[in-house]
Amino acid sequence: MRRCVRGILVVLALCGSLVPAVSAHAAGEGRAAPVPLERLFDNVAVSDDGSPGRADFDGSGASLPARDLSAAGWTPGRVLTVQGARLTWPKRQPGERNNVRAAGQDVRITGRGDALAFLVAGTAGTEAGGPGTVTYADGTRSGYRLTAPDWLTGPLATKAVALPHINTPGGQLARQARLYVVTVPLVPGRAVTSVRLPSAAGLHVFAMSVRTATLGWTGSWATATGGYAAVGPWTDRTLRLVVHTSAGGPRVRVRFDNTFAAAPVRIGSATVAVQATGAASRSTPVALSFGGAAGVTIPAGAQAYSDPLGFSVPADTNLLVSFHLPGTVAAAPVHGLAQQRSYVSEPGDHTAEGAAGAYTSVITRWPLLAGVDVSGGPGSVVLLGDSITDGDKSTVDANRRWPNVLAGRLLGQDAVPRYGVLNLGVSGNRVVTDRYTGDGVSTDTAGVSALNRFDRDVLAQPSTRTAVVFEGINDLRWGTTAEQVIAGLRELAARGHARGLRMLGATILPCEGEARCTAAVDAERAAVNAWIRDGEVFDGVLDFDAVVRDPGRPSRMLPAYDSGDHLHPGDTGLATLADSVDLRLLRPRGDRP
């Protein structure tokens, strides 16, 4: 982001382009005063199955079935949290106007935050979108560009929710409909007063909000949802998940994600405690609440944050987050490789018990739980990666992933702020190709591509300052070219820069000796690494390749760092990666010592 000395002109980097922010007086006057979005509704998108003719979302009579929306938990007036933004599904009944066809309308909306969130879909058969304008209380304006995928053909990997049917004048069709949440950046610290929508045929807006959930919190632990997998099934069971903090703080909140789901999930109660050993806590677990209630129902595709709780979270410590599932859960969003044992109880709500006796089963995945935040603090560093970042081949229960070692280094110094370190590695993940489609129950938990999960896993994390991208070997091992990987990395860097993040690139490790790491793959790896080292796109380079390669044979890892499979470093290699990081590179853009 660049600002002129007088602050009259602000330039924001958006989607690879520069969009100027100008004073309100320079943009022309004479328009009607902004009004709330619901007063502008001019389209009917939802119909009852028995009367589909009362809605026409796309201009040809097709619409969203009210029954499917209700089954997903998207009921009229329901507040949905997606990507950290609270959005209200319109409080309108089937057959009533419930969305705006974007045509340059001025919408009254207020608040301070890091992003503006839109609940949208396109009906033009392809992406629909265009430029819009945000007006601030100080009289300045900034530009943004909003693009919505098509409701029938858009990617499942980035959708907020998918419905199994559409209604048409001729009856219901088994064809998926998708709705999306898209965020665009705001000028930091400025209070929004109104937003001018784009003029874009086929762009429909259901809801808008200023995202505030990321402000005032530091991420201490997080994980990425890699898929929607069969579990249990669990009925009337309590899950006690073990997670390791980075930053500490005086208050805590946790986040549950129902990402990729088709149905709501009910959490009856939840607690937090510091681990003693195994499933036992040091002291009595403390109850969490959700909007003042003991539990919460999370709609399909949405999230739930617990209320802030006065609970001293130690840094570099294992926490127990326990939650009761009163109903039957046969599939759930999961992180597939925890490298950490967690626990499932016998029947009943055992969230308040400090003893381990009720927890008789062990799991090695993290279902539903996606984040632990602490109040205040300097913000977070997000590490976007694959199995090497995820900690594959590190010692189970020992927290020896390279992100854990990096967090320990930050805690032991004063040269830079003690940022929270968030591990968003997903084993098997790729930069440009989805391993999981983003919809339905699957045995593959390697996730949607880094490109498709970037908004959710990086931009929506609390107070993100810097992001490290350490991916690409899985793409290359499975036939993606260096040119394609470079294009994906370039896009990730540009999208991070558009939000004001410092973006660091890590070089790809050698892997000679692993079955798919052929000489041809190594040549492609070398090409990607040469591009990363050029420094044209990233703000800094973590040359992990140089750190662990065998000087006498650069296409392989030094045996001392190799876990034995020639692809993943072991504990020593992972620690060496973390120890090689110049901590000064983690400072946010524009920050000076």
Q: Could you report the per-residue pLDDT of 473-519, keeping only the tens digit for each? A: 999 999 999 999 999 999 999 999 999 999 999 999 999 999 999 99
pLDDT band at 24 (very low <50, low <70, confident <90, very high): very low
Please tell me whether residues 462 and 342 are part of one structural domain. no
Please tell me whether residues 60 and 169 are part of one structural domain. yes
Please tell me whether residues 344 and 394 are part of one structural domain. no
Please tell me whether residues 39 and 170 are part of one structural domain. yes
Q: How many distinct structural domains can be found in the chain? A: 3
Please tell me whether residues 440 and 296 are part of one structural domain. no
- Domain termination site, one of 374, 400, 425: 374
397 exposed, middle or buried (CB, 10 Å; 0-12, 13-18, 19+)?
Answer: middle
**Cα–Cα distance measured from residue 17 to residue 20, given in angstroms and rounded to the nearest whole number:** 10
> Residue 9 above 50 pLDDT?
no
pLDDT tens figures, 183-239: 999 999 999 999 999 999 999 999 999 999 888 999 999 999 999 999 999 999 999
pLDDT band at 589 (very low <50, low <70, confident <90, very high): confident
Exposure string for 476-497, b = 16+ CB within 10 A, e = fewer: bbeebebebbbebbbbbbbbbb
| Average pLDDT, rounded, for the chain | 94
Please tell me whether residues 137 and 261 are part of one structural domain. no
> Residue 452 above 80 pLDDT?
yes
In eight-state DSSP terms, residue 54 is G
- Domain termination site, one of 179, 211, 243: 211
**Hey, what's the torsion of the CAs at 125, 491, 381, 427, to 10 degrees?**
80
pLDDT tens figures, 390-444: 999 999 999 999 999 999 999 999 999 999 999 999 999 999 999 999 999 999 9
Please tell me whether residues 401 and 508 are part of one structural domain. yes
Q: Which domain holds residue 302?
A: 224-374
Specify if 168 maps to a domain: yes
**Cα–Cα distance measured from residue 282 to residue 356, given in angstroms and rounded to the nearest whole number:** 11
Residue 94 CB neighbours (<10 A): 25
Residue 291 CB neighbours (<10 A): 10
Specify if 346 maps to a domain: yes
- Domain termination site, one of 176, 211, 246: 211
